[in-house]
Amino acid sequence: MERIAHQPLHPSVITRLDPEYVEFHNMTLQYIVPPHTLTWNPAIRDEPVVPGGSPPLEVAKTQDFDLAHTKIRTFTPHGTVPDGGWPVFIFFHGGGWTLGNITSETSFATRMAVGAHCVVISVDYRLAPENPYPAAVEDAIDALDWVMQNGANSLGINTSRIAVGGSSSGGNLAAILCLKAAERNPPTPLVFQLLVVPVIDNTVTVDNSWASNQNSPWLSPDRMLWFRNNYLPNPKDLTKWDASPIFAPKELLEKVPEAWIGVAELDILKEEGVLYGEKLRELGVKVETVIYDGAPHPIMAMDGTSPESRRTSRF
């Protein structure tokens, strides 16, 4: 039976893409039916958000803890606890606030735990369309509060060494959590934010910053708008800074921690990620922005398929 290519590569981008990605896309990804073309059913979440991930690494301990509306999963590395306790990295998976779960990016979480020698906490935040904005933001705040209140006793965490991060929609939540922490009185101190292909501006379309990459694979404009409409059904919410951190006031932006922002050259979200880095830098925040040449949006989650993908796990 002949397989149907539901999302073939656009001819205009083939020569610009990483060759190993092209091979994997042609063998596997093009035959997957894009979720935004299907009638919504929560069972869509049973499939991997992005195929092509590497196997998780072994860690010393994995534990789950309940929050008010969801749960977190913690990964503790092997080795001796550092003086003062473990540094901690709070991580938010991608999936357009609609797909994914606590196991989606276990490979990345375990690589962070082992490579950075820290406790990684993956947040199983509530998903749209059942739980639209601001549910995921509320869960992000709950996760930070849990770490501050319980991290030392439950996991041996040093609460003065908290970093946050995420991919795509998870990068959006991580950036927002930094702003929420800065807004508090007194602020909750965070030391670092790692934003991989983050959603920064939920007002952009193909009429502006998406135009140059509108034919790139996987995260098409239609798919991104489907995610956006699931999570932000009320247009009045699009410009709120806890939905689009690019609109945060200067007095909050200048207080956020040092940032590492990774964007993919062939991703509709590239320009907003680069712009956010520039805006933070202008306000005095230390920022490193890395552009992954020849890479499409799902680069981090595909670290089992190509050298460019694996580079994102060794930032």
Task: Tell me which of 25, 36, 93, 297 is the catalytic residue.
Answer: 297
- Whole-angstrom CA distances from 180 to 166, 174, 253 are 16, 10, 10
Task: Tell me which of 267, 303, 306, 309 is the catalytic residue.
Answer: 267
By 3-state DSSP, what share of the chain in percent is helix, strand and coil, each rounded to 5?
40, 20, 45
Task: Tell me which of 104, 107, 122, 168 is the catalytic residue.
Answer: 168
Q: Give the DSSP letter of residue 4.
A: P
- Whole-angstrom CA distances from 232 to 37, 53, 113, 281, 299 are 19, 29, 32, 28, 25
Q: If we measure between CA atoms, which residue out of 217, 203, 182, 177 comes closest to residue 271?
A: 203
DSSP codes, 216-269: -SSS-HHHHHHHHHHH--SGGGTTSTTT-GGGS-HHHHTTSPPEEEEEEEE-TT
Amino acid identity for residue 42 in this structure: P
Q: Is 267 a catalytic residue?
A: yes
DSSP codes, 139-188: HHHHHHHHHHHHHHHHH-EEEEEEEEEEETHHHHHHHHHHHHHHHSSSPP
**135-155 vs 169-183: helix crossing angle, rounded to 10:** 70
Q: Is 168 a catalytic residue?
A: yes
Radius of gyration of the chain (CA): 19
Active-site residue list? 168, 267, 297
